[in-house]
Chain A
Amino acid sequence: MGCGSSGFSEEQLDILAAMTPVPAVPADSTNAVADDPNAAVLGRKLFFSTALSGDGQFSCASCHDPAQDFTDGLQLSEAAGQTGRHAPTVINAAYSRWQFWDGRCDSQWCQALGPIESPVEMAGTRLGVARAVYTDATLRAEYEALFGALTDFTDSRFPERARPAEDPTDPDALAWAQLSAADQADVNGVFANVGKAIAAYERLLVTGEGPLDAYIQGLLAEDESYRDALSPEAELGLELFVGKGLCHFCHSGPMLSNGEFHNVALGPRDWLPEGDNGRFDGIRAVRETPFNALGAFSDDTEGEAAQRLTFLALNIDAEGQFKTPGLRRVANTAPYMHGGHLDDLASVVEFYNLQEEEPEFGHLDETLAPLELSEEEAAALVVFMEEALDAELVDPSVATAP
């Protein structure tokens, strides 16, 4: 292992080469309309529609606000109630195999169905969603052009709200139990299709390349001006990111995430609920949801996503693990971590540098240890994330309400 003239080892050059160029969004064969532009047009309307919520007040954008990089800037989100986790951005989420901090969905269409029915988020129901689409002339026309004719969900046999729920005495669950199996299957199908249209829209919310890409591509092409792409401080930050900081172990590839789950050992916070076991519970949930890649609503029960689910192991190691977030545009989405634990990037670097918190579940990933960074090095890592990881949206025109 030698050191090239750049100061990066051969191995580090490989790690850098894997970060760029940014590839197209990976295909989602479980969603037949994933790349259908008409589905994205409908999905955009649905993303910003408050009609999907129980009381007509909240939409996805309530917590994923385009003006705040599709986050809400809060530690925990507020809508119909308060969530138990922090809202990540939707930008570049389409690159992620697993959705949510605990990966309890294996596609974006599965993901989109969660907040609609969560009592603390949009407090809606799947039947309410089917009715909302049916009764809005535009939504209905666009839906039917993509997925075929809708049942008349205003028929007297349908109540206004109904959904399955863990608590069988929940009024929505009682209403759901009253529906025939055929009606339930029909409503579930519409619900899944609404998720698929929203996912088609979210696939457009992606970033292009930024200073990091210019730097690495120039470096690999032995173009002498490559160093102009980053300030000296950001360059030092990059060296630390793939060197002494060992950040690349998990923050690897074009999104600076391996898309998998680790326990970085964040301790409790007084605003966080107890009992969040992260990926350990997420594995069981993704296996169980009827909206996973192997389920009846998946458009490909044999493809890659289905294979990943088939071979997925439930290890004790998964306790207290959360998904490694992508880091492109990370400077825009404070606060950080699954519970909004840390206010800014300087606090994140300090956290990794000291590594002195105790997690509620599981144990610290063995790759992590106090880094012993100097003040100058810690500051350089922050500058690296602010400067090098900035990137524009590929199509900024879609990042607004329709």
Chain B
Amino acid sequence: MTRIVAALILAGCTGGGGDTAEERDYGRTQTTDLGSWTVTIAPDPDPVPPVDLFALDVTIPGAEGLFVDVDADMPSHNHGMNTEPVVTEVGGGAFRVDGMQFHMTGDWRVTVAIDDGNTYERAFLWIDCCEPIQ
């Protein structure tokens, strides 16, 4: 926390609003930590609404029938979501995640975990929450 405040002061203007002091890759497609899977996420609605529930469509080619778990947290604030999302397999490597909620402004990290019985791999995808809804 102290680090972030310091970064804001160094930035010279009134300071950043969120916690994007570090550069992050907000790409919607990422590879899992051991490299076996490519995970793509699409929020619904897009952009993610502040504080309201939303869903995530997750595509993982080749992951048909595997155990997939999805969660999200704000590492810089050290907390997770106030909800427990539910993952439903849609078929063809597609999964629907209902019950996501980002209740604070800033960087959220979505963790997609895939267990194929041999390895447990995770992909991390960053989402900057949230664009104001006009």
Residues on A lying within 8 angstroms of B by beta carbon are 1, 3, 7-9, 11-12, 14-15, 17-18, 239, 242-244, 246, 248-250, 252-253, 258-261, 304, 307-308, 310-313, 315, 317-318, 365-369
Beyond A252-B50, A260-B51, whether A1 also contacts B77 by CB under 8 A is no
Number of A-B contacts (CB under 8 A): 116
For the residues of B in contact with A, the DSSP-based class is loop
**B11-28 interface bits toward A, Cβ cutoff 8 Å, 1 = contact, 0 = none:** 111111110100000000
Say whether A249 contacts B85, CB under 8 Å.
Answer: no
B90 CB–A CB distance under 8 Å = no
A264 to B51, CA, bound (A): 19
Say whether A248 contacts B17, CB under 8 Å.
Answer: yes
What are the residues of chain A within 8 A of B119 when measuring CB–CB? none
A261 to B104, CA, bound (A): 10
Say whether B17 contacts A312, CB under 8 Å.
Answer: no
B38 CB–A CB distance under 8 Å = no
Q: Which 4 A-B pairs have the closest CB atoms?
A: A311-B99, A3-B13, A243-B15, A18-B132
A310 to B99, CA, bound (A): 8
Chain B interface, number of residues (Cβ within 8 angstroms): 41
A3 to B12, CA, bound (A): 9
What are the residues of chain A within 8 A of B1 when measuring CB–CB? 366-369
**B96-133 interface bits toward A, Cβ cutoff 8 Å, 1 = contact, 0 = none:** 00110101111000000000000000000000001111
- What would 10 A/B residue contacts be, using CB atoms closer than 8 Å? A9-B16, A14-B132, A17-B134, A242-B17, A244-B9, A249-B104, A304-B53, A313-B83, A315-B82, A369-B2
Say whether B106 contacts A313, CB under 8 Å.
Answer: no
Looking at the complex, which one of B12, B82, B84 makes contact with A261 (CB distance below 8 Å)? B82
Say whether A311 contacts B98, CB under 8 Å.
Answer: yes
Say whether A14 contacts B131, CB under 8 Å.
Answer: yes
B130 to chain A, nearest CB (A): 8
Q: Which of B84, B104, B133 has the most CB of A within 10 A?
A: B104
Say whether A258 contacts B13, CB under 8 Å.
Answer: no
Say whether A1 contacts B14, CB under 8 Å.
Answer: no
B103 to chain A, nearest CB (A): 4
Other than A253-B50, A313-B81, give 18 A-B pairs with Cβ distance below 8 A.
A8-B13, A9-B11, A9-B17, A18-B133, A239-B14, A243-B14, A243-B17, A249-B105, A252-B50, A307-B53, A308-B83, A311-B98, A311-B101, A313-B83, A318-B82, A367-B77, A367-B104, A369-B2
